[in-house]
Amino acid sequence: MKSVLVTGSDGFLGRHISRDLSRHGFNVLAKRRLMGRKPKRDTWDEFPASDYLVHLAGLTFVPASWENPTEFIQSNSVSTSHALNFCRRNNAKMIFLSTYLYSSKLRTPIKETDEIDPANPYALSKLLGEQLCSFYAKQFGVEVIVLRPFNVFGSGQSSRFLIPSIISQALKGDEISVLDIRPARDYIFIEDLLDAVHRSITSDLHFGIINVGTGIASTVEQLIISLADVIGRKLRISSSNQERFGEINSTQADISQAKLLLQWQPKWSLSQGLREVWNESQEHKV
């Protein structure tokens, strides 16, 4: 049985990925976020050898990255360096979960080769992680696949994020309050990301940087209308028309590389994913 070490296994993505890989027959070595009093190098030295590593550990919330940019950059880049050293020592293949790194000036859909211009400290920390991945792949022969998920959503996600926040409001009433209805995002359901991770692990690809999205962008207004259709009642939208600092107006992935290199394509529409999350939320409603 092949083994997979999953760092950050207690996070939103980590819980789903660990469950999915176990379902696929892997021996999953789940490790919580790399925190504690021990130096990170000592922590990594204690991890058991594995065939694969899915690296998720790190700080993730974009607004918080503006408050503590140094902490984000240091924590995320150093942990990625330790992860790559672990793979080098154990001849393990690494799957690195990155993020949206592209310039806000680009026309959509966005290709992996388009201009890079991180919009926030979190994205910058991920870019540094990608550069480490490229260096280790070139200089040390470490097998690495970098996935750039667009806007992932699914059950168990923190209410700090947009879709859980909207669903939480819809559970309480018919009025949905948001900052801005205009930004458009490429929303990818968690099950489709899980499929991309599994295909990355089992592929023969030694190195690659791959977008993971649907190729469809939906505004915040369209998102709320889609949720209203799912739950079967009208939702009133209240917007303060407040643009976030560093906001990107539209994200939309070109997923031709994922189709070519991983034989992957999304199976879930936005509405189907919203229905799954809504039904799950209904079941856990107090």
DSSP 67-103: H-HHHHHHHHHHHHHHHHHHHHHHT-EEEEE----B-
Per-residue pLDDT tens digits for 105-140:
888 899 999 999 998 999 999 999 999 999 999 999
Number of domains the chain is built from: 1
Rounded to an integer, what distance in angstroms lies between the CA atom of residue 156 and that of residue 189? 12
Q: How far is Cα 209 from Cα 137, in angstroms, rounded to an integer?
A: 12
pTM (two decimals)? 0.93
Domain range for residue 192? 3-221+223-283
Is the model's pLDDT at 214 over the cut of 80? yes
pLDDT at 104 over 90: no
142 Cβ neighbours under 8 A, 6+ residues apart: 84, 87, 88, 94, 133, 136
Q: Interior CA angle at 97 toward 91 and 98, to 5°?
A: 125
Residue 120 DSSP symbol: S
| pLDDT beyond 80 at 36 | no
Domain CATH number, residue 204: 3.40.50.720
How confident is the model over 38-72, as pLDDT tens digits?
Answer: 446 677 888 999 999 999 988 888 888 999 999 99
